[in-house]
Amino acid sequence: MLRQLWPAGLILLVIFYAAFARGGDQVHVSLMVSFVILVLCAVLLLSRGVHINLPGLLWLAGAAGLYLIGLTQGWVSTGADEYASLVAAAAVFLLSYSAGVNTGRSEALWALILAMGAVLGFAAFVDFVVDPDAVFGFPGGFDSRRMAGPFLSPNTAATFYGIVGLAALASLLRTVKRDGRIDQRIQNLTLPSVALLISATCLLLSASRAGISLFVISAIALTLWDQIASWRTRFGKPSNDTLKAHRNILSKLLGSGLPPLILAVVFGLSGKLYADRVMETGGYNGRAIIFDRYAETIWNTPVFGEGLGGFGFANDILATASDADTIMYQNAAHNIAFQWILQTGPLGSALALALLGSILFGVGRGLIRRRRQLLILRAVLIIAVFVLAHGMVDYAVEIPAVMWLFTFILGLGLGGADGGRSISGSGVSAWPIRAGVMLVLAGAAGLTLTAGLDRVAAVSMSSLDDAMFKARYPDATAISGSSYLKETIGDRALRLDPPDPALAYAAFNSSLKAEPRNGIVWAKAAFSLYQIIPVIGGSTEEALRQSYLVMPYADIDHLRWRLDFMANAWSTMPEDLREAAIRESRMLKHERRRWIRRLDGEPRPPYTPRSR
């Protein structure tokens, strides 16, 4: 068994570690796990018996191309984690494809997905029961009635457990059709049954309306598809997966009755919140507002988009007085089509869609050509439909762990469909191709490591005392690194005793040269200049005006700070900037009247901007 899990099982362990680490959704975790995947895949793809396939190479080439475009445009400075995770996904696909061509390995890895999904789901379930307001000790920040663990969002959890649940259902349907002694068959049913029970429970506790509804539809579709395929074998030669299924009374009863029974029991125990949320009608609909705005915007998206990780900047400039309350609270488009068009442009999105379509077409073709693993191939297609359909109303596929698990399953499916057909096997002719793949992965790993060390340096900035900071950054010539690191240097310079606004401005200005789309850094640059000369004019005025140009309404973390700064500098503020501040103050809601009253009084002492 362990031999069958090598080497792709190692990557699967890393993916589930990322899932446990809140989905790998934090930048430093994403960079770290991406680096590990890239290095491991670069080494493991050199193993004997590895098959390199054309879709995997195209995926790797496309991801590397986006990475290079990001480097030339300066986007990697803020989106390094997303570029790295996309290249890592290509590496995962290549490795899982190679495992999928071997039936024994494919089945062992499928079982490992169920086992690890069940363990993770059970741990998350216990954690939710013990403390609904936290996720493994960390503050939840969402509706405590809904289970999100181990992710940051209940909807992401719904997609993840939906994938595991559908994989378990396929394994369950496949297992009940196999002949053998009753005790052995019951033993073989244990893992898929437990995995389905746990994942369905976690899915219902997430109370994701779209996730649960799509899962039920997908589960019914998979079961009906399997039953129809079984009936058709009565009029032709049965496949190995459906051999003698119609002759076995126990198989009929279990195959048609056990999955619905499990789902019915789970829904009866934990489906009340889902039912309550389905009954909710009318009221505020934030997704409708943001979808309207994004649908209008995608037609004006540049050819290469805003770059991976650039959604926030595209989102900042969209907000208007009527929708700022909704737009500025979004960290994602909640629709993978909108998200990808905004970030990669129409060209990149069309190529990604074509690649995904070719992979799914290959899996579908395998259903016609192959006579083994047919139920698994059907499950891969159903899982793909489930993930993509849920992706139309949420962003789970943007979370690294979910994307990598989905990618791994796609690779297994295409490998099983092709049955070993590849553009290079394990012979001598394969080495030039493998060497090229290894070089691309190694290069991406190097860039990922650099970005990770840069992020570590930024995070550790707050732990430096004043003496250590001054020794490391005595003047502007010592400032280097990504735009994010330079921003943290500027933030730390303003917290010195006494503050060093000149060094802070130099850091912010250098950050803006690398990433000029950041409205908050423009405001911080203006603030630094204001500390040197407390007058809004010249470079200070232009920086503040640029801040409002690229971010008319600040995000919730910086809204009060920027308006406090504007109020303190009101006496020398140009009229157009006053109007921009008054317009933005509408987001203060109940606090707005108090802010307006401050404009007639004496300004408070200067504020220090919040660091991110």
Question: Of the candidates 395, 352, 18, 400, which has an alpha carbon nearest to the alpha carbon of residue 211?
Answer: 395
Q: Are 505 and 490 in contact (CB under 8 A)?
A: yes
Sequence-ordered list of residues with C-beta below 8 angstroms from that of 184, at least 6 positions apart, any chain: none
pLDDT band of residue 603 (cuts 50, 70, 90) is very low
More confident residue, 15 or 320: 15
Handedness of CA 275, 281, 283, 285 (dihedral sign): positive
- Evaluate the omega torsion of the peptide bond into residue 150 and state whether it is cis, within 30 degrees of 0: yes
pLDDT band of residue 290 (cuts 50, 70, 90) is confident
The single residue listed with the structure tokens 């999928």 is 100
pLDDT at 164: 97
Query: Which runs of consecutive H residues, i.e. helices, occur in 431-518?
Result: 431-459, 466-472, 483-494, 501-514
pLDDT band of residue 330 (cuts 50, 70, 90) is confident
Please give the Cα distance from 568 to 416 (Å, whole number).
66
52: phi then psi, degrees, rounded to nearest 5? -100, 125
Mean pLDDT in residue range 25-48: 90
Q: Are 520 and 543 in contact (CB under 8 A)?
A: no
Phi-psi region of 443 (alpha: psi -120 to 50; beta: other; left: phi over 0): alpha
Q: What is the CA radius of gyration of the chain?
A: 27
SS3 139: strand
pLDDT digits (tens, 9 = 90+) for 447-466: 999 999 999 999 888 889 99
Half-sphere exposure of 288 (CA within 13 A, CB side): 4
Tell me the longest C-alpha to C-alpha distance in the chain: 89
SS3 602: coil
pLDDT digits (tens, 9 = 90+) for 358-375: 999 999 999 888 777 788
pLDDT at 427: 37
Q: Are 66 and 344 in contact (CB under 8 A)?
A: yes
pLDDT digits (tens, 9 = 90+) for 168-213: 999 998 888 766 666 677 788 899 999 999 999 999 899 888 899 9
424: phi then psi, degrees, rounded to nearest 5? -155, 130
SS3 159: helix
Write out the two tokens for 185: 């068959």
* Residue 312 reports pLDDT greater than 90: no
SS3 135: strand
pLDDT band of residue 142 (cuts 50, 70, 90) is low
Tell me how many degrees the CA angle 401-406-409 measures, rounded to the nearest 5.
125
370: phi then psi, degrees, rounded to nearest 5? -90, 155
pLDDT digits (tens, 9 = 90+) for 525-556: 999 999 999 999 999 999 999 999 999 998 87
pLDDT digits (tens, 9 = 90+) for 211-260: 999 999 999 999 989 888 877 665 555 444 444 444 454 455 455 555 66
Please give the Cα distance from 122 to 88 (Å, whole number).
28
Please give the Cα distance from 75 to 37 (Å, whole number).
22
Question: Of the candidates 327, 344, 268, which has an alpha carbon nearest to the alpha carbon of residue 73?
Answer: 344
- How many other CB atoms are there within 10 angstroms of residue 97's CB atom? 29
Q: Are 166 and 117 in contact (CB under 8 A)?
A: no
pLDDT digits (tens, 9 = 90+) for 397-452: 999 999 999 999 999 999 999 875 555 444 334 678 888 899 999 999 999 999 99
Please give the Cα distance from 99 to 93 (Å, whole number).
10
* Residue 262 reports pLDDT greater than 60: no
Write out the two tokens for 336: 């993978």
Write out the two tokens for 459: 């995070």
Q: How many residues does the chain have?
A: 612
Write out the two tokens for 49: 């018996």
**Partner residues linked to 134 by β-bridges:** 139
pLDDT at 608: 54
- Cα dihedral 160, 161, 164, 170 in deg (nearest 10): -130
pLDDT band of residue 110 (cuts 50, 70, 90) is very high
**Partner residues linked to 52 by β-bridges:** 424
- Mean pLDDT across the chain: 84
Please give the Cα distance from 577 to 96 (Å, whole number).
55
Please give the Cα distance from 22 to 24 (Å, whole number).
6
Please give the Cα distance from 435 to 441 (Å, whole number).
10
